[in-house]
């Protein structure tokens, strides 16, 4: 299909419903459909949005273009869950049906507030001359999933910033007031983040740009997030335009965090540098929330902007990652799989495609772990005593960057590790999520292997052990 501007900005309505239904049937027949990850019924999924717990259940939305596996007119799809393992789909949560979001309901967040959810998001509007006007909006979602949009609290970009101001992350302070951080691009095409406050979530004051001491760190910061954790402050963001640095920042776009202290009165965040959240291939736009038991949870998009997706041939693209539990231990961020994911474990033999694999390597000795092996494909994890190497170069069809940027791309990732004593791997039809050393690091990768790629082999020292749980 020729994805013209008109085609990309076509709405899902009664006239286009037959087309959408046909696309859903095409997607359902895809050999790469996931078994236990959140994926779109058809079309393109990207950022997780509105992730929160309302005291009874979790709400999770994702940004979505229903009518094709490309970026187009964005909706929010709404899911709920009691445990973040099993989900109920409530359909469209936000439709781009107002002047403020006429060209897409862009990313945002939510929190439980009174009777329902308070949502903050960016409405994307284009003029007849195709000039972008970003509107920052709040909306209320009641307990019957009815949405009421409020007029924008920020019209267009503040002085000194380009049209690229978006992705509000909202939170509530202990005194009952509200805060928001916004991703932004300065007029000089460098990235940063803005901070806003409100006593009532109606009247908002722009406090200014947060000072990170980084006047030239990428050209745009997307999907910011802020939260305190274990006595420290964490600021998540996706700074676009970072150069590759050896084994670091090898993906087209990065997702990472600053660990430090947020002085809100001074609008300053002190930190010890930017760190990547995931050292694999496909991870972007993560969003956090406080869980039912007070823990900090994180879900990301298993994909990247400006990157092709092999499943697009089947009318769909991308999924969300599994939820992670965040802690800070010995000054380091750890990410562990949500304990409730143990519910996925079955018994008996696995099919070589859908499983959880746990490897223990008590002496940190070298090993080679071959996953999804077939006649023409394999994915290989190698530990050589110095680094873990994730090689998907022979995994089958693969996502590819649509831009040629020096040092970016490729299908091998290397993470320096003096010790590697454990791996926990979640394998689904078209993805691998690899937790290293009890959450010390994570590597995520989308793969699109042929149907016969079901082999699993390990070459390791005698004291290494592997346990595999099938996921039926």
> Is the sign of the CA dihedral 41, 45, 50, 53 positive or negative?
positive
Indicate if 304 and 377 belong to the same structural domain. Answer: no
The answer to whether residues 196 and 251 touch, using CB atoms and an 8 Å cutoff, is no
Of 305, 333, 361, which residue constitutes the final position of a domain?
333
pLDDT in tens, 252-289: 999 999 999 999 999 999 999 999 999 999 999 999 99
What token pair was written down for 154? 């920020």
Of 15, 47, 115, 306, the active-site residue reads: 47
Catalytic annotation on 47? Answer: yes
- Distance separating alpha carbons of residues 294 and 287, to the nearest angstrom: 16
Among 102, 153, 96, 152, residue whose Cα is nearest residue 127: 102
Report if residue 339 sits inside a domain. no
Indicate if 99 and 151 belong to the same structural domain. Answer: yes
Report if residue 117 sits inside a domain. yes
What pLDDT sits at residue 1?
Answer: 81
The answer to whether residues 272 and 260 touch, using CB atoms and an 8 Å cutoff, is yes
Indicate if 46 and 100 belong to the same structural domain. Answer: yes
Exposure on the CB side of residue 377, measured as CA atoms within 13 A:
16
Model pTM score: 0.97
The answer to whether residues 87 and 78 touch, using CB atoms and an 8 Å cutoff, is no
Report if residue 169 sits inside a domain. yes
Indicate if 60 and 131 belong to the same structural domain. Answer: yes
354: three-class secondary structure by DSSP: coil
What pLDDT sits at residue 99?
Answer: 97
What pLDDT sits at residue 111?
Answer: 97
The answer to whether residues 181 and 194 touch, using CB atoms and an 8 Å cutoff, is yes
The answer to whether residues 36 and 428 touch, using CB atoms and an 8 Å cutoff, is yes
Report if residue 203 sits inside a domain. yes
Indicate if 47 and 150 belong to the same structural domain. Answer: yes
162 C-beta neighbours (distance < 10 Å), count: 16
Indicate if 413 and 438 belong to the same structural domain. Answer: yes
Report if residue 341 sits inside a domain. no
Look-up: residue for tokens 């020292």? 461
pLDDT in tens, the chain (472 residues): 889 999 999 999 999 999 999 999 999 999 999 999 999 999 999 999 999 999 999 999 999 999 999 999 999 999 999 999 999 999 999 999 999 999 999 999 999 999 899 999 999 999 999 999 999 999 999 999 999 999 999 999 999 999 999 999 999 999 999 999 999 999 999 999 999 999 999 999 999 999 999 999 999 999 999 999 999 999 999 999 999 999 999 999 999 999 999 999 999 999 999 999 999 999 999 999 999 999 999 999 999 999 999 999 999 999 999 999 999 999 999 999 999 999 999 999 999 999 999 999 999 999 999 999 999 999 999 999 999 999 999 999 999 999 999 999 999 999 999 999 999 999 999 999 999 999 999 999 999 999 999 999 999 999 999 999 999 9
Indicate if 127 and 230 belong to the same structural domain. Answer: yes
209: three-class secondary structure by DSSP: strand
Of 291, 307, 333, which residue constitutes the final position of a domain?
333
- Distance separating alpha carbons of residues 405 and 370, to the nearest angstrom: 30
Count structural domains, the chain. Answer: 2
Q: What angle do CA 447, 450, 451 make, to 5 degrees?
A: 115
- Distance separating alpha carbons of residues 77 and 61, to the nearest angstrom: 5
For 431, the domain range is 346-470
What pLDDT sits at residue 375?
Answer: 97
Q: Order of strands, edge to edge, in the sheet holding 367-373?
A: 412-416, 387-391, 379-383, 367-373, 455-460
Of 333, 360, 380, which residue constitutes the final position of a domain?
333
- Distance separating alpha carbons of residues 252 and 243, to the nearest angstrom: 9
Residue 459's CATH number: 2.60.120.560
Indicate if 355 and 206 belong to the same structural domain. Answer: no
Indicate if 234 and 311 belong to the same structural domain. Answer: yes
Indicate if 226 and 99 belong to the same structural domain. Answer: yes
E strand map for 176-219: 178-186, 191-198, 205-209
Indicate if 274 and 357 belong to the same structural domain. Answer: no
Indicate if 444 and 368 belong to the same structural domain. Answer: yes
Report if residue 338 sits inside a domain. no
């Amino acid at each position: 299909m020729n994805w013209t501007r008109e085609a990309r900005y076509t709405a899902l309505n009664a006239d286009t419903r037959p087309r959408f239904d046909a696309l859903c049937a095409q997607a359902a027949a895809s050999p790469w459909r996931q078994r236990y990850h959140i994926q779109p019924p058809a079309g393109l999924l990207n950022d997780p949005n509105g992730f929160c717990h309302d005291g009874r259940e979790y709400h999770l939305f994702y940004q979505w273009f229903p009518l094709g596996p490309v970026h187009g007119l964005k909706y929010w799809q709404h899911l709920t869950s009691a445990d973040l393992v099993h989900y109920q789909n409530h359909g469209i949560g936000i439709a781009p049906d107002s002047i403020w979001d006429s060209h897409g309901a862009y990313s945002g967040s939510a929190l439980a507030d009174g009777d329902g959810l308070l949502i903050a998001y960016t409405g994307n509007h284009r003029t007849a001359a195709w000039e972008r006007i970003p509107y920052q909006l709040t909306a209320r979602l009641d307990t019957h999933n009815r949405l009421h949009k409020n007029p924008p609290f920020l019209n267009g970009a503040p002085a000194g910033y380009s049209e690229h101001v978006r992705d509000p992350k909202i939170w509530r302070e202990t005194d009952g007031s509200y805060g928001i951080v916004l991703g932004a691009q300065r007029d000089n095409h460098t990235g940063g983040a803005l901070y806003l406050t409100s006593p009532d979530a109606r009247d908002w004051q722009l406090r200014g740009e947060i000072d990170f001491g980084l006047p030239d760190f990428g050209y745009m910061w997307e999907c910011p997030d802020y939260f305190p954790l274990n006595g420290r402050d964490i600021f998540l963001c996706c700074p676009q335009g970072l150069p590759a640095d050896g084994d670091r920042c090898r993906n087209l776009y990065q997702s990472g965090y600053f660990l430090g202290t947020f002085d809100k009165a001074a609008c300053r965040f002190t930190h010890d540098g930017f760190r990547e959240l995931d050292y694999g291939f496909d991870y972007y736009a993560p969003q956090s929330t406080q869980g039912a038991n007070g823990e900090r949870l994180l879900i990301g998009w298993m994909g990247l902007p400006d990157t092709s997706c092999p499943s697009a041939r089947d009318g769909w693209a991308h999924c969300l990652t599994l939820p992670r539990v965040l802690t800070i231990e010995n000054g380091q961020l750890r990410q562990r799989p949500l304990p409730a994911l143990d519910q996925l474990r079955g018994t008996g033999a696995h099919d070589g495609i859908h499983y959880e694999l746990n490897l223990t390597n008590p002496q940190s000795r070298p090993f080679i772990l071959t996953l999804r092996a077939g006649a023409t494909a394999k994915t290989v994890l190698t530990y050589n005593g110095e680094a873990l190497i994730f090689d998907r170069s022979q995994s089958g069809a693969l996502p590819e960057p649509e831009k040629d940027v020096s040092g970016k791309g490729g299908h091998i990732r290397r993470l320096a590790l003096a010790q590697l004593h454990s791996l926990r791997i979640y394998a689904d039809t078209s993805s691998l999520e690899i937790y290293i050393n009890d959450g010390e690091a994570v590597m995520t990768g989308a793969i699109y292997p042929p149907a016969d790629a079901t082999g699993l082999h390990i070459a390791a020292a005698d004291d290494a052990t592997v346990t595999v749980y099938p996921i039926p």
